[in-house]
């Protein structure tokens, strides 16, 4: 078993906070990555397990030039509580507490770039802990099976292309068990031209990591209590 995370903020953006460049930044400063330019730099990674149709990739390090991302809140939204893990606009953001949990469990070298919070006037606002743009660098390509998984059997509404490879996962208990050994990963399809930003905000986590998040009281990882996340939960088991 493993878990599938898609922040409600990635679909409904209830916080109404959006990634923006740092005010006064120069052209060299990185605050995002283009879909093609980022994913064309993926490199094959050693397989954690041998499973037909599954390939591991490592995303590039982004620290080759200055990195500074800001989150600008709409007026009045800066007073709303920020989850420890959430996604918006093709980005994943995590708190200092969530970062500490991940670094204790996952041995892969991910990247954590400080985020500056801004109000609607682009003035800095304080937060109780630091937040980071999270470059989670482990990607898997899972070849689709000859059928498509439905929302009824998955318990959530898949994003485009997710229903293709999820059918293979649902039909293979061995694959599901092996995926449960990986602390966290994201999925990418083989055809770079058909990839899209929303897939970057879907994160798959194993039970060990989810349990560690629970112990630390990490916010923003609410298990579905109703099918399809009707009450806006963000985490479901697979």
Chain segment 59-116, per-residue pLDDT in tens: 999 988 888 889 998 888 888 888 899 888 788 999 999 999 999 999 999 999 999 9
The proportion of the chain whose per-residue pLDDT surpasses 90, expressed as a percent, equals 53
Mean local confidence (pLDDT), 227-238? 80
Helix boundaries (H) for the chain: 8-11, 35-39, 96-105, 151-154, 162-171, 173-179, 207-215
Can you tell me which residue has the tokens 């953006």? 13
The strand pair at 184-187 and 138-142 is best described as parallel
- Give the pLDDT confidence of 11-21 residue by residue, as tens digits: 544 667 888 88
CA end-to-end span of the chain: 6
Q: Retrieve residue 4's tokens.
A: 């599938």
Vertex 51, ends 179 and 2: CA angle to 5°? Answer: 10
Phi, psi of 113, deg, nearest 5: -105, 125
Cα–Cα distances (Å) from 78 to 18, 100, 111, 220, in that order, read 12, 24, 25, 17
CA-to-CA distance for 33 and 20, rounded, in angstroms? Answer: 12
- Show me where the domains of the chain are located: 2-237
Cα–Cα distances (Å) from 215 to 101, 208, 211, 224, in that order, read 10, 11, 6, 18
Find out whether 162 and 200 touch, Cβ atoms under 8 Å: no
Reported pTM: 0.91
- Give the pLDDT confidence of 163-191 residue by residue, as tens digits: 889 999 999 999 999 999 999 999 998 88
Sheet holding 184-187, edge to edge: 43-44, 54-58, 138-142, 184-187, 202-206, 2-6, 235-237
């Amino acid at each position: 078993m493993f878990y599938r995370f898609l922040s409600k903020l990635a679909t409904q953006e209830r916080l109404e906070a959006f990634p923006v460049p740092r005010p006064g930044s120069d052209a060299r400063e990185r605050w995002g990555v283009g879909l093609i330019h980022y994913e064309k730099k993926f490199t094959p990674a050693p397989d954690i397990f041998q499973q037909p149709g599954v390939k591991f990739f490592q995303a590039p390090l982004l620290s080759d030039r200055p990195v500074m991302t800001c989150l600008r809140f709409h007026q009045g939204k800066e007073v709303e509580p920020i989850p420890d893990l959430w996604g918006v606009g093709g980005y994943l953001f995590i708190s200092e507490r969530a970062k500490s949990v991940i670094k204790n469990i996952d041995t892969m070298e991910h990247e954590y770039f400080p985020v500056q919070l801004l109000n609607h006037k682009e003035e800095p606002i304080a937060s109780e802990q630091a937040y980071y743009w999270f470059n989670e660098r482990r990607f898997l390509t899972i070849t689709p099976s000859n059928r498509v998984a439905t929302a009824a059997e998955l318990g959530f509404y898949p994003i485009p292309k997710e229903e293709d490879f999820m059918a293979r996962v649902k039909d293979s208990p061995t694959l599901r068990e092996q995926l449960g050994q990986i602390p966290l990963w994201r999925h990418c399809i083989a055809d770079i031209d058909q990839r899209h930003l929303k897939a970057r905000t879907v994160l798959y986590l194993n039970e060990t990591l989810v349990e560690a998040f629970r112990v630390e009281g990490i916010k923003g990882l609410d298990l579905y209590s109703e099918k399809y996340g009707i009450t806006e939960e963000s985490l479901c088991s697979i």
